[in-house]
Structure 1
Amino acid sequence: MSYEIWIIIVASLVGITCGVIGCFLILRKLAMLADAISHTVLLGIVLAFLISQSMNGIYMLIGAAIVGLFTAMLIQFLNHKGIQEDASIGVVFTFFFAIGVILITVFADSVHLDVDHALMGEIAFVPFDMVEIGFLPPLPKAFIMLMSILILNIILMMLFYKELKITSFDPALAASIGIPVMFIHYLLMGMVSVSTVASFDSVGAILVVAMLIAPGASAYLLTNKLSHMLCLSAFFGVIAAISGYYVATWIDSSISGSMAMMSGVLFALVFIFSPTKGLLGKKLNHKRFRSGTTAP
């Protein structure tokens, strides 16, 4: 495959992987927690490198998952102790992220792990980092990692779909019928963590937030059914990734930045033109309601 096609495929996988997981974060009102985890996984990646002295993807995933889960647990603990949730998120993620940045600059300045790469990522380098697995032709490392995480997430969502759905809409009901609410919560946080680090090389720690939140938020404005929301979110993630690539080529700018920008543009369009929840849709429905009530 060509250089351009591989970038588009990997970008689309980022959009799908992050977009689908983001739906549950939107429903649970945990968008800022995604921001926190996407930053704190940097600490997990650095610690994994310092311990293993390897940039192997499996070590990165394990380190990110552990720190991501610890982040969610610490935020939950502080919240239960009376600290407001937004304050807990702000304190925890800035503290962990700062430690990660310090460790990079002090101990990892001689490897392919720097602050700019961690923040912004660079998907243009993806086609150059090829690996061979068995009889398969050489494939980009980012493609293999993202595809593996996407398959894992799909399997977990299929196995725990009912639990994820009920705990997202009504955690009190879920607890009353015996569903382990906290287990499902931390399972979701683990999925967010590994999805974030799988997208790390492509869009970086900051821009992955846009792919986690914007496609799901756009889908939320178009449907009230979870299955449709998941499909729409994946669709918006792919559209943002593809259009972002061509915008970046057109204006000669950051590919990952353009992807995040286009996810915001798509959200703005849906926010305005959604038939039921958009600004214009609400105005039209309000006018119809008023004309119906005032008709003789």
Structure 2
Amino acid sequence: MRYFLRRTAFFVVTLWGAVTLNFLIPRLQPGDPAESIVSQLSGQGAAVDPDQIRAVRLMLGLKDESVLQQYWDYLGQLVRGDFGVSYTYFPYSVTHMIGEALPWTLVLVGVTQILGFLIGTVLGAFAAWRRNSRFDSVVTLGSQFIGSLPFFWIALLLLYFLAFVANWFPNAGGFSTGVEPGWSWEFVGDAAYHGILPALSILITAPAGWIIGMRNNMVQSLGEDYTRLARAKGLRVRRIALMYGARVAILPNITGLALALGAILGGTVLVETIFDYPGLGRLMIEAVTSRDYPLMQALFLFITTGVLIANLLADFLLGVLDPRVRKEASVR
């Protein structure tokens, strides 16, 4: 119990630090963000209207109050889920824009990450059990080679050959212009069709890291004394591989999977930009390019919170699966 309480306390403190940092970064930057935005809208050399600056400052939440009062108001806005109005997509709110892009990223990156983890873990475990065999050599060397390839380079190749040359898949967008978004089979099928190439560009390289990590961890666990004892007792080979080798070897990969799933909220910026996919990655690029401070703040907080929550869940899962973790925490 002490282990879980400590991890929860660490999560709360870290989340508070992320929220505070998210509040301070725009206010510590040199210059006035509102003036910069108005100048960008007006054009170079044009006169800046003070009323417009004041309006933009109110839109960004930069009120003429003390920093402590602004911080307190900011915390209240977070509790209410009010992240302000997006400057790029005015008059839509930041929450609305993130809500529009979030399902696309969750489906694309979430499905590919989970599939990559499952494929990589299974192949890595089997390669470790059949180590020094031809299968082990092909899987290990192949995953190292494929894992060294940039996934955005693979995305460009898929886009050129399968979309432009062969014309088998659409080259941009999340759905066709003539399809009405909604929970209909026509829209779901069209969205899945548009997501094949972005998913393939991620899924080709996604299992590589899990294969190498699982193989190395399982080779080490198979050399431990408890595995030798299981063999000496005459246990079945499948049980030794699953319960004594894979069960211990998969623990470090669980933490990696949790961090990868937490980072889903950041999207895959390059892939979504290449395919013009309407996810959080492309939304982040547009926010940075347009200096959309409310949208950038909210996306940063979403990504940080997602990683922290995923890390907390991974710690809890490790505490349940590995009694040694709880025992070490109770001794300290």
Larger Rg: 2
Point out the structure with the larger helix share: 1
Normalised by the length of structure 2, the TM-score is: 0.29
